[in-house]
Amino acid sequence: NAGVTQTPKFRILKIGQSMTLQCAQDMNHNYMYWYRQDPGMGLKLIYYSVGAGITDKGEVPNGYNVSRSTTEDFPLRLELAAPSQTSVYFCASSRLASSYEQYFGPGTRLTVT
């Protein structure tokens, strides 16, 4: 199993541009999450999904959108990128609602200038 994969690994955006961060998992996990991590800070939850077709906001959802059309994929969309969105983005998945043993992807380092 590849686990959780993310693309791209690095990206530089200009202010106002848009992009989609891709995330996929092959563990048949129902639960998927998007976090951002700023330097010296913990992980902040952006959006999460409990299954295909179901998504919900986390702690810091403004400026982002998600969709979950399949169990495997959970893309994160940035509209009108701002410097405040410069961060490292991690996607994660877990199998059960009662199990928050989350497995993380390798991350995407995004810079907005």
Partner 1 sequence: QKEVEQNSGPLSVPEGAIASLNCTYSDRGSQSFFWYRQYSGKSPELIMSIYSNGDKEDGRFTAQLNKASQYVSLLIRDSQPSDSATYLCAALMEYGNKLVFGAGTILRVKS
Residue whose token pair is 């380092």: 109
For the segment 53-82, give every residue that binds partner 1 (CB under 8 A).
58-59
Judged by CB under 8 A, the chain residues 4 through 33 that form the site for partner 1 are: none
Closest CB to partner 1 among residues 80, 97 = 97
Q: Select from 15-23, 36-44, 68-76, 79-87 the region that touches partner 1 (CB under 8 A).
A: 36-44
Torsion of CA 54, 59, 93, 40, to 10 degrees: 160
- The answer to whether the beta carbons of residues 76 and 47 sit under 8 Å apart is yes
Cβ nearer to partner 1, comparing 20 with 103: 103
97 binds partner 1 (CB under 8 A): yes
Report d(CA 94, CA 32) in Å as an integer: 6
Shortest Å, Cβ 15 to partner 1: 25
Q: Based on the shown chain and the rule CB under 8 A, indicate whether residue 43 belongs to the binding site for partner 1.
A: yes
When computed from its CA atoms, the radius of gyration of the chain, rounded to whole angstroms, is 13
Residue type present at position 105:
G
Q: Give the Cα separation of 58 and 11 in Å (integer).
A: 23
- Contact footprint for partner 1 (CB under 8 A): 40-45, 48, 58-59, 90, 97, 100-107
